[in-house]
Structure 1
Amino acid sequence: MLTVRPAHTFDDVATMVGPKRPDATVCFCLSHRLPAKVNRSMKETDRGDYVRSLCESAVPPGVLAYDGDEVVGWAAVAPRSDTTLARSTKVPHLDDLPVWSVWCLRVRPGHRGEGVTSALLAGAIDFARDNGAPILEGYPVDNDGRRVDLTMAFVGTRKMFEQAGFQYAGATSSVTDGFPRVIMRRRL
C-alpha cells in the first residue's frame, strides 16, 4: 500500500534524488530551489548538507512516497516565492496569489506503473494545503499522449496533472524534450 509523507528523512530523499557520489555536483533536486550561481558553487558535500537542513526544517523540501517501508517516489514542493520559478522569465506569474509549486516527480525504477505519481500528486496537494497554500501549480509538458524521454519526465504530463484535479491555467515559453510546458493549477 502506498503512503505519502513529508520529506523529513534525508536518507530517503538522497535515495530518490541524490547522486551516487555524495560529492557530486548534480541533482538533489536543487536546480529550481537555488539560484544557478549558488547551485554551481556548491562543492563536495555542500549539496547534501543543504538538503539535509531542508529535511530537518519545519517545512521539508517536498514529499516522499513509500510502498511499505521502501521509498519509491519523490515530489519537490515549496512556495513558488522560495524557488527560482519566482523569477522565471519562461513561466509567468498569473496573479499575485502566494501559490506553491510542484516541479519534480520521480518514481524509482521497478515501481513505475504502480500509481506512485498519482499518490505523489495527491500527497503534494495535501502537503501544500496543510502548509497554508491557496493554490498548487505544476509545470508539466503538454505532450498530447506522446512518449516523453524518461530523463525529462520528471516535470510530469498535463494528463497526469488533470487526473489529479489540476486545471490548465496558462501557457509558458518553456519547452522540455521538445514539448511545450503549461501551467496547471489546483485550488486548495
Structure 2
Amino acid sequence: MTEAKAVEAATNNNTNHLADFDPHKKKPKRNKYAFACAILASMTSILLGYDIGVMSGAAIYIKRDLKVSDVQIEILLGIINLYSLIGSCLAGRTSDWIGRRYTIVLAGAIFFAGAILMGFSPNYSFLMFGRFVAGIGIGYALMIAPVYTAEVSPASSRGFLTSFPEVRSIWNSFSLLLSIY
C-alpha cells in the first residue's frame, strides 16, 4: 500500500515539474522602473571615461597655459585612479548611512564640484585639488551604481541589468581607442 502511494506521489511530482517547462507559459513581466533605474545608474560609469577623455584632450592646453612639465601632466592624468579608490572606500559607509540612491546623487554633486574646480583652476595645485574632488565623486559612483541596480532589479533580470555598467565601460574603452586613431 505504501509503495502505491509513493508511486502516485512521484507521478504527481513529475507532472508538476513538467508543467514548469511548458513553452506556452507566460514569461515574467519586465519591470520598466528597474530597467530605467539600471540605465540611469549605469550612466555613472561614463564619469570616468568622460574625465579621461576630456583631460587627455586638455593636457596640451594645461601644459601650455600653466607651464607644467610632462611629469606633472602624467601625474595629473593618472592620479584619478588613486583618488577614485579613496572615494570607493568611503562609498559603502555613506550608502549605508543615507541610502544608495542619495549616494549616487552625492557622487554626481561631488564630481560636478570637482569639474567646476578644475575648470576655474589658476595653477597646478588647485587643478590637483579639483582632480582629487572629482576622483572622490567617480569612486563613489563606480562603487554604488551596481549595488543600487542589483537592489532595484527583480531576480529574473538582475544579472542582465547589473551588467550595464560593464557594457558602458567597454563602450568607453572602444570610443577612447577610436578617438586616438
Same fold (TM over 0.5): no
Which of these two proteins has the greater Rg computed from alpha carbons?
A: 2
* Greater fraction helix: 2
* Greater fraction strand: 1
Larger relative contact order, structure 1 or 2 (CA cutoff 8 Å, min sep 6): 2
Question: TM-score, structure 1 length as denominator?
Answer: 0.22
